[in-house]
Amino acid sequence: MGLNYEGRGAGVKRCTECQLPVGACICGYRPRLPSGCSFWILTHRKEFFKPSNSARLIGACLPDVRFFRWQRTEPDAELLALLEDARYRPVLVFPREMAPLNPRSAAFSEKGAGRRAFLLLDGTWQQALKIYRKSPYLHGLPLLSLEPESPSSYGLRRSRSDRQLCTAEVAVELLRGEGELESATQLQNYFRVFCHAYLEARNHREPGCLPEMDALLAYRAERPD
């Protein structure tokens, strides 16, 4: 997902893929991960161009990822068509406490016809809640709510709770729940490298070495593109 970043920091020369400053590019560590699931990411307009956005890591690593920009008055026609496509079994990933009136629940590894498709709302928690409330086409989807065992390690922004995961961390938990453990591990490794490189670049330091970098390089050596 190549982006043209707009706003603060627009003058920084960035990698067109990972959106980090060129000197901190992490694309050399990017793993190509197998998955039997699809990921559909509905992104708030204010989130779409932020270089700290973690959703792009999902698109960089997994094979079947689609991005949609949310508009309140004009739902994306492609997304609406996919929600009705019999080839998929869409599931909305969203906290149950934020959607108490939704009568349908989903569970991991459910049997059924079609490919499992996870629909993620990408933005701040307030933005995600707005997307849900203002998008009636989401209200009837089966709802999958995560209960992470570990706190979020996303240190690039403030959060009200350490149990509130960023979008890439949600994808890691979904892969784990579906039994795709190796892909979950390597996506988490890439996410940690991204956070480290982002923070070091923001503080005008050269990124140091992390164990996750070695793990990703070993994975890439075993499975070249």
| Domain ranges (residues) in the chain | 22-222
| Mean pLDDT value of segment 196-209 | 87
Q: What is the pLDDT of residue 111?
A: 75
Cα–Cα nearest to 91, from 76, 75, 102, 78: 102
> 50: which 2 tokens?
């932020």
Q: Which of 23-27, 114-118, 159-163, 198-202 shows the lowest mean pLDDT across its residues?
A: 159-163
H/E stretch holding 169: helix 167-177
Each residue's pLDDT tens digit, 130-177: 999 999 999 989 999 887 766 566 655 555 545 578 899 999 999 999
DSSP class per residue in 102-162: ---B--TT---SSEEEEEEEES-HHHHHHHHHT-GGGTTS-EE----SS-----SS--S-T
Q: In the predicted model, what is the mean pLDDT of residues 63-70?
A: 97
The helix or strand, by DSSP H or E, that contains position 92, with its residue range, turns out to be strand 88-93
- 19-34, pLDDT tens digit by residue? 999 999 999 999 999 9
Radius of gyration of the chain (CA): 17
Give pTM, 2 decimals: 0.88
